[in-house]
């Protein structure tokens, strides 16, 4: 379970505002990559907060509302498929994170970023491997990013019916590949992902 030790270590250096940053949607065949940034009050307790991947969809939805109600500031940002195909998923993920941090409305004194530090952001940072499972602020960001991306995929399912986007959220499943073969890629599909991943679901 995540805890508040990372935030406490930073607060010992007299940093007032610490933002957790995480993303959702690096691996899917379709849809945007979404990032969220969250600034929580010091030593806040949110029972049940965890890495979004370890929560059920209903628990994520409820936890997202709790996080939003408690957070000092929160924001999300999405980077669309065209950017992903042009620049690659790593650059797109970093861009989504930068946009989320910029959208906070207040400038944090420190960033706790899932995985590795975020280039191009002149704020002190700590890249935490598996941060969504270890760090309270990053876990909160992971929940907001995942919930927001799921909502966007539900909207895309209405725009591009027949692919099952609301069910698998754009990830590589047999059902998804069958729909792509039948209907062809939609405008929300990552063309750069399709060729390299097709063989994994062709058997």
Q: pLDDT digit string (tens) for 134-145?
A: 999 999 999 999
Residue 183 · residue 163 · CB < 8 Å: yes
Pairing of strands 110-114, 73-79: unpaired
- Residue 200 scores a pLDDT above 50: no
Which is higher by pLDDT, 202 or 68?
Answer: 68
Residues in the chain: 203
| Residue range 6-35: mean pLDDT, rounded | 92
pLDDT for res 192: 95
Pairing of strands 110-114, 18-24: parallel
Q: What is the pLDDT of residues 50-73, one digit of tens each?
A: 999 999 999 999 999 999 999 999
Q: What is the pLDDT of residues 84-105, one digit of tens each?
A: 999 999 999 999 999 999 999 8
- Residue 201 scores a pLDDT above 80: no
pTM: 0.94
- Residue spans of the domains in the chain: they are 5-148
Q: Which class in CATH covers the domain with range 5-148? A: alpha beta
pLDDT for res 8: 86
> Residue 203: which pLDDT band, with cuts at 50, 70 and 90?
very low
In our burial notation (b when 16+ CB lie closer than 10 A, e otherwise), range 158-190 reads: eebeebebbebbbebbeebbebbeeeebbebbb
């Amino acid at each position: 379970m995540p805890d508040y030790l990372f935030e406490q270590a930073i607060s010992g250096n007299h940093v007032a505002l610490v933002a957790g940053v995480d993303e959702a949607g690096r691996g899917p065949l379709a849809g945007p990559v979404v990032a969220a940034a969250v600034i929580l009050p010091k030593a806040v307790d949110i029972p049940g907060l965890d890495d979004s991947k370890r929560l059920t969809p209903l628990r994520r939805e409820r936890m997202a509302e709790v996080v939003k109600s408690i957070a000092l500031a929160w924001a999300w940002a999405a980077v669309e498929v065209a950017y992903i195909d042009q620049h690659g998923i790593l650059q797109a993920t970093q861009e989504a994170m930068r946009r989320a941090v910029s959208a906070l409305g207040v400038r944090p004194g420190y960033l706790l970023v899932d995985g590795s530090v975020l280039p191009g952001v002149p704020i002190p940072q700590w890249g935490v491997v598996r941060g969504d499972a270890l760090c309270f602020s990053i876990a909160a960001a992971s929940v907001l990013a995942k919930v927001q991306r799921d909502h966007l995929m539900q909207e895309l399912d209405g725009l591009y019916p027949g692919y099952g986007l609301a069910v698998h959220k754009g990830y590589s499943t047999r059902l998804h590949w069958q729909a792509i073969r039948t209907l062809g890629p939609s405008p929300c599909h990552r063309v750069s992902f399709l060729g390299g991943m097709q063989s994994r679901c062709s058997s």
